[in-house]
Every structure is written in structure tokens, then in C-alpha cells.
Amino acid sequence: MEKILQEKYVQLENVNMTFFTKKGTFEALKDVNFSIREGEFISIIGHSGCGKSTVLNLIAGLLQPTNGNLFCAGREIAGPGPERAVVFQNHSLLPWLTCSENVYLAVERVFGATETKDQLKKRTQAAIELVGLAHAADKRPNEISGGMKQRVGIARALAMEPKVLLLDEPFGALDALTRAHLQDELMAIMAKSGCTAVMVTHDVDEAVLLSDRIVMMTNGPAATIGEILDVELARPRKRLELAEDGHYNHLRSEVLKFLYERHAKKAA
């Protein structure tokens, strides 16, 4: 029987976020409203300080909104949960553990109460293989490249079998070639896993290449949703072919136009 995907799998309703600091209050987000379909890949883009990571942290449950509501699969987001896994720009691997052991920690945390050690090891191995790191499973973080470390972080998140994968500029610290390679791998991984993804990025090409829709944020303070762009490009996507695709370049121009106009307003 074909699975019916939810149109409003993740929902943000009238979300406001104000931070209270020693210097006073700072209104980061105001009246943020949008929903994400199940299985959809969403990118959030905007200038620095527009609240992109704040939106991601709210969905992750790491922050609670000052006003408004957030839902995932029909349930209110009241805190972190294993159905929502986060991949940060800093991979945050424990240096004294191997790649496999770093992934196993997450697996044990989520499934340790209900599964045997053998089952947990199989889950770990499957996640390591999914990101193409079977050959490096027994290596420690200082023995592998930055790109491989980030793949371990993705494997750790996917090993939890999340319904929603949250990515906070996961390739921002990598060189251009490694970044391009991991973007291609992420597309393949997401096609296999089928989970919903939300990614924060500053990279226009990355947003257009990976996304089904791009959420463009206005400048802060009191940032909100400026525009949402549908990326109507067939999958699987091949970057070399898209480089000469007229519609791809049109979408890229639309994002650049939005960001340029916002920069001009900020400068004024």
C-alpha cells in the first residue's frame, strides 16, 4: 500500500523569538509561518543575523519560542527528540572513540532499551555503510579528513532513524571540492533514507542543487519569511548538467536577487 505523505509534517505557526540579554531584549524572529511536507528537502537562506539557525534550533527543540507553536508529525515540539536529528557545522565527534563507536553512542541512546547489542552494532554498521565509510569505521577522528568527519556526523544522525534531519551549514568549513562531493553524496543518501530535511546555508548554489523549496529570510532584527521559492528540478540532479540548465540558472538568479535587494536595504 502506497504511503500517504503528510502535507504539513513540520509546522511553524506565528513563531516569535526574543532573546533577553544584559544589554536588553533582542527580537530575532517575528511572525514566522511555514510548513514542510513529509520527505521534502528545505533550505533556509538569508544574510548573517537573520535567524536561520534560530529557526533550525526551534525545530530541533533546543530553543522554545517566545510566542507561537511548532509541530512535528502532529505533535507539539516541546524539546529535543530522537525523531529530529541535528548535524552541526562542527562535527562534534569524541576524539577518543572510533568512527563506528561515535555512531554507536547515538544508536545505543535511542535503541539501547529495546534492542540487543548485536542489533545495535548492525544499525551502526548500516549507517556507516550508508555514508560510504566502511573502510574507516575503526579509525579515530584525527586519522580522517574533514569531509569524512562530517560524513560520520551525518551517519550518527541517520543511525537514529530520524523523521527529520536538521543540517546547520554542514559543509561550511570544507574546501570547495570536498563540499561539492559531499553535496552529491547527501543527495544520494537522502534519496535512500527518504526522511525530511531542513538545511541552513549561505550558499546559493547549494540551496538550489539540494532543495525542493528555498525559504528566504528577511534581515534581522525581527526577521521573518521573505519569500519561498519552489525548486522545480527533476531528481536525480547532476551538477554538471544543471550548470547549463536555463531553469536552474533562473532559480539561482531569483535567490541572488532576493539576497542582493535585502543587502541593499540593510546598507541603506
- Closest by CA to 153, choosing from 89, 247, 230, 218, is 89
Helices first, then strands: H and E counts in the chain:
8, 10
Which grid coordinates belong to 53? 539557525
Which residue reads 548554489 in cell numbers? Answer: 205
SS3 of 86, please? strand
Exposed, middle or buried: residue 240 (CB in 10 Å: 0-12, 13-18, 19+)? Answer: exposed
Domain boundaries, the chain: 1-83+164-268, 93-161
For the cut 80, the answer to whether the pLDDT of residue 143 exceeds it is: yes
- Residue 58's CB: how many other CB atoms inside 10 A? 22
For the cut 50, the answer to whether the pLDDT of residue 52 exceeds it is: yes
- Closest by CA to 137, choosing from 146, 147, 148, is 148
152-181, pLDDT tens digit by residue? 998 898 888 899 999 999 888 788 888 898
Tell me the percentage of the chain whose pLDDT exceeds 90: 71
Q: Mean pLDDT check: name the lowest of 71-75, 117-121, 184-188, 261-265.
A: 261-265
- Average confidence (pLDDT) over 143-151: 90
| Fold classification of 1-83+164-268 (topology level) | Rossmann fold (3.40.50)
What is the pLDDT at residue 132?
86
What is the pLDDT at residue 1?
42
Of these ranges, 31-35, 107-111, 184-188, the one predicted with the greatest mean pLDDT is 31-35
For the cut 90, the answer to whether the pLDDT of residue 203 exceeds it is: yes
CB 3 within 8 A of CB 49: no
CB 7 within 8 A of CB 74: no
217-228, pLDDT tens digit by residue? 999 899 999 999
1-50, pLDDT tens digit by residue? 445 668 889 999 999 999 988 888 999 999 999 999 999 999 999 998 89
User: How far apart are the C-alpha atoms of 27 and 54, rounded to whole Å?
Assistant: 11
DSSP state of 4: P
SS3 of 120, please? helix
What is the pLDDT at residue 161?
87
